[in-house]
Structure 1
């Protein structure tokens, strides 16, 4: 789904407010003055400065404005969740909404005139499910001189960097097999199933646990590095499946994501997953030191001495599976997959 110019502009305005706070070292007055000097007193980012400063420093969740919503929509659209939603919609909910299982499992009945509607079916239909508030934080480091002196087009570059940080963690968390805790939702993939190298057979076995009513609503997710082998295996052809956008695989809708390991096939049934998001807030880090995990140890960098500034984005997003089989993954299902070079050691940056 293409991004409208209006939505893209609103998302960039949210980032510009965060950039202003970084330039002004978290001073709302200084941020407003810098924005006024850059683009005039009518810059819509000025109205966001106080709000962004309050949210990012206190962690308080307030109803998101249109700019925070636009940045969340832009971030989700670039993630694997957004790619899936272009094919099949998730069940969108609000955080902490008390939803009964009976609401999702409800079924209608034929009834005669004056007769009662039959009772609900299913196990524990009145169990309440909620999506707790969780958030992803992304820290992007720039030189303070760059943030101050770069032109207005730089706002789109900064926005892209913030979205990249959030999308990488979001996509990885969907398939990493980690249990949830107070800081994050559980992975949609509880425990991957080892494959036999026969993708059609492995996929059929794995999907047999799904309710029949959801067979036409599932979406497959594969690594772009697996597409060539899937075409060679006969499960797809080059006219129906490509490494960039996906297509059709074994007759099912399919998207690609580098978050899925090469050789694996994941599946998600969006209607069986509650998805909540509450916008992206952008501000600046006030920590004087940036800590970088190099893979071999930890480096500390002084923001003052090295003239660094940090733009921080916080994305409020979470999900919950309604059925264990609503998502899963088969590993080593695709033989002869192209294997990309091992990535360099991750450099986790915190402040």
Structure 2
């Protein structure tokens, strides 16, 4: 575990551990933290955050630092924060996207200077949306010496998976979640020749290739590379990414195995991703899904001697620009 993720797991995880062990009572949580004075190297930071919570100061930089440390665990896991060329915008602010720029001309002596009119598209406002990770742990686990790292890492992985799933599953958005960056993309039916399919997608693509990237499932990317050994930069791709037709390839388990998409990243606007909140509950009743049957049933945290943990991140995105800013190869079974 690198230094960045270690800091996140201790501060965010120990904050969760303290308020979880105390069943959400900030005064009892403060007492628990006091007992760890000689065990926790970041004792003073955890104490300050729990102390601020006990005083109802949830908006202070003290509790915000806990959210920041949690985000330090989420960002390396979520592909969203690894992508270049994204446009960062504020929430609830009208945005305008330039779809056609000004033109320049060569003009002879005494000649008329032509005029050009840039074209713009009004995108409207990005609303505040949130992705929520939920986990349930036993009281015994929460009191274990490694609970701080376990619970923080688990919640971070859940939030990152939720973000990437919405980013690449191809679905339309709704009141709860943003649309996938591949929703509404032009499509190319896959054949048995992935390199030829990529060239067909490129022929339909209307975005800026210098700010674009391919997205594929790791297995799909590995199979594309295996089908084109020795192709050089034209197809130097594997499970961890690479380049296809000289364009960078990003891989994620969230991308459907049957789709390979080319997206102009400069057309993606992202808001938020800078605020996170952590909460616990020992009295909630949660709908928990049975992994064997797939059915959900109400489960009482109190009756099962468990604690519910919640990590919440405020984030939203959208894709602007003309049709053809995203093209997907569909039905890829390479």
Q: TM-score, normalised by structure 2?
A: 0.81
* Structure 1 residue 4: Cα displacement: 6.8
* Structure 1 residue 159: Cα displacement: 1.5
| Cα pair distance change 1:199/1:76, threshold 3 Å | same
* Structure 1 residue 136: Cα displacement: 0.6
* Structure 1 residue 249: Cα displacement: 1.9
> In the alignment, is residue 201 of structure 1 matched against residue 202 of structure 2?
no
What CA deviation, in whole Å up to 9, does each residue of 1:260-308 have, x standing for no partner?
A: 1224212232211011223221111354322212354222222122110
| Cα pair distance change 1:300/1:93, threshold 3 Å | same
Secondary structure in structure 2 of the residue aligned to 1:275: strand
Larger Rg: 2
Q: Which moved more, 1:187-196 or 1:27-36?
A: 187-196
CA contact (8 A) 1:11 1:68 kept: no
Structure 1: stretches of 5+ with no match in the other structure: 336-351
* Structure 1 residue 237: Cα displacement: 6.0
Q: CA RMSD in A?
A: 3.5
Name the structure 1 match of 2:134.
Answer: 139
Name the structure 2 match of 1:121.
Answer: 118
Of residues 320, 323, 333, the one that matches 1:322 is 320
Secondary structure in structure 2 of the residue aligned to 1:168: helix
Q: Larger % of strand: which?
A: 2
CA contact (8 A) 1:14 1:48 kept: no
Q: Tell me how far apart the structure 2 counterparts of residues 108 and 15 of structure 1 sit (CA, whole Å).
A: 54
Secondary structure in structure 1 of the residue aligned to 2:332: coil
CA contact (8 A) 2:134 2:311 kept: yes
Q: Tell me how far apart the structure 2 counterparts of residues 17 and 181 of structure 1 sit (CA, whole Å).
A: 33
CA contact (8 A) 2:214 2:247 kept: yes
Q: Tell me how far apart the structure 2 counterparts of residues 127 and 228 of structure 1 sit (CA, whole Å).
A: 40
* Structure 1 residue 321: Cα displacement: 0.6
Secondary structure in structure 2 of the residue aligned to 1:216: helix
Q: Which moved more, 1:168-177 or 1:322-331?
A: 322-331
Q: Tell me how far apart the structure 2 counterparts of residues 48 and 105 of structure 1 sit (CA, whole Å).
A: 49
* Structure 1 residue 135: Cα displacement: 0.4
**Within-5 A mapping of 1:150-189:** 150-151=144-145, 153-189=146-182
* Structure 1 residue 139: Cα displacement: 0.8
Q: TM-score, normalised by structure 1?
A: 0.77
| Cα pair distance change 1:255/1:29, threshold 3 Å | same
> In the alignment, is residue 72 of structure 1 matched against residue 68 of structure 2?
no
CA contact (8 A) 1:139 1:310 kept: yes
Q: Tell me how far apart the structure 2 counterparts of residues 257 and 174 of structure 1 sit (CA, whole Å).
A: 10
CA contact (8 A) 2:85 2:211 kept: no
* Structure 1 residue 61: Cα displacement: 12
* Structure 1 residue 253: Cα displacement: 0.4
> In the alignment, is residue 258 of structure 1 matched against residue 257 of structure 2?
no
Q: Tell me how far apart the structure 2 counterparts of residues 286 and 9 of structure 1 sit (CA, whole Å).
A: 26
| Cα pair distance change 1:62/1:178, threshold 3 Å | farther
